[in-house]
Amino acid sequence: MEIVIQPTAAAATTLAARLFVKAIRQKPACVLGLATGSTPLALYRELIALNLDWRNVTTFNLDEYVGLSPEHSQSYYRFMQETLFQHVTIDKRNIHIPDGLAEDILKFCADYETRIVEAGGIDIQLLGIGTDGHIGFNEPTSSLASRTRLKTLTPQTRRDNARFFGSEDEVPHHCITMGIGTILDARQCVLLAFGKNKAHAVADAVEGAVRAMNPASALQMHPNMTVFLDEDAASELRLADYYRWVYENKPERAD
């Protein structure tokens, strides 16, 4: 796991964006795993500004709320259209987002897994982290081998996400999410976390034991994993100075 600590979220975002630019430029038909929420907003803006060729890019989103139509103001379908897809040259047929209105959720989830495999697997997966350590919507105690499935959000996640809805009561209880096993199958994973409210979950995921109580800790098992943090999100890391030194003295800079 590589830990990259930057003075600001903007600086960390720019470095993370470079990995996605590289993926798209080196492999025009690459498969991206995408996330929603506030964390990746600036990264999407950076990708849009570069006018990359998205015509052959395929995307799979991590998750969606169950019960929200694509048109709902808080659906992740709408979020992705408004923050990224409407602004790039992606072919609509190459966009995959879990269907929150799927009638047969079990079948939908199995098909989603099949579609990822048929696309050739995810080349690079973007991740944020919940204050409870969730990745995608894999909440604490999710199986570390889980696949795409129906999950129930924790009260903490519903409280955290109430800021996007009118009130906590309006936040759905259920979601469809790629599993931790699905995420670990990506060839490369990139996790972004900014702000003090993420510091505890980040330290626990990076330096704590691998365990289902912190789903992001499973990323310790991934062979190509980079974590981009601002100083606030890095503030509880015991080995922060070591990570800074390692990054600044990298023999061959990947960027």
Q: Which residues participate in catalysis according to the annotation?
A: 63, 132, 134, 139
Positive or negative, the CA dihedral 28, 30, 35, 39 is: negative
Instruction: Using the minimum distance from each CB to ligand F6R, give the nearer residue, 39 or 59.
Output: 39
Least distance (Å) between residue 231 CB and ligand F6R: 17
For 173-197, b/e burial (b = at least 16 CB within 10 A) is: eebbbbbbbbbbbbbbbbbbbbbee
For the residues of 135-197, what is the DSSP string, one character each?
BTTB-TT--TT--SEEEE--HHHHHHHGGGSSSGGGS-SEEEE--HHHHHTSSEEEEEE-SGG
Least distance (Å) between residue 44 CB and ligand F6R: 12
Instruction: Using the minimum distance from each CB to ligand F6R, give the nearer residue, 123 or 160.
Output: 160
Pairing relation of β-strands 149-152 and 174-177? antiparallel
**Edge-to-edge strands, sheet with 95-96:** 2-6, 225-230, 188-193, 124-127, 31-34, 58-61, 95-96
Contact residues toward ligand F6R (CB under 6 A) are 35-39, 62-63, 128-130, 134-136
For ligand F6R, the nearest residue by Cβ is 128
Least distance (Å) between residue 252 CB and ligand F6R: 30
Residue 36 and residue 106: Cα distance in Å, rounded? 23
Instruction: Using the minimum distance from each CB to ligand F6R, give the nearer residue, 56 or 113.
Output: 113
Least distance (Å) between residue 36 CB and ligand F6R: 4
Least distance (Å) between residue 9 CB and ligand F6R: 11
Instruction: Using the minimum distance from each CB to ligand F6R, give the nearer residue, 5 or 97.
Output: 97
CA–CA distances in Å: residue 126 to residues 122, 123, 243: 10, 10, 21
Instruction: Using the minimum distance from each CB to ligand F6R, give the nearer residue, 36 or 58.
Output: 36
Residue 90 and residue 85: Cα distance in Å, rounded? 7
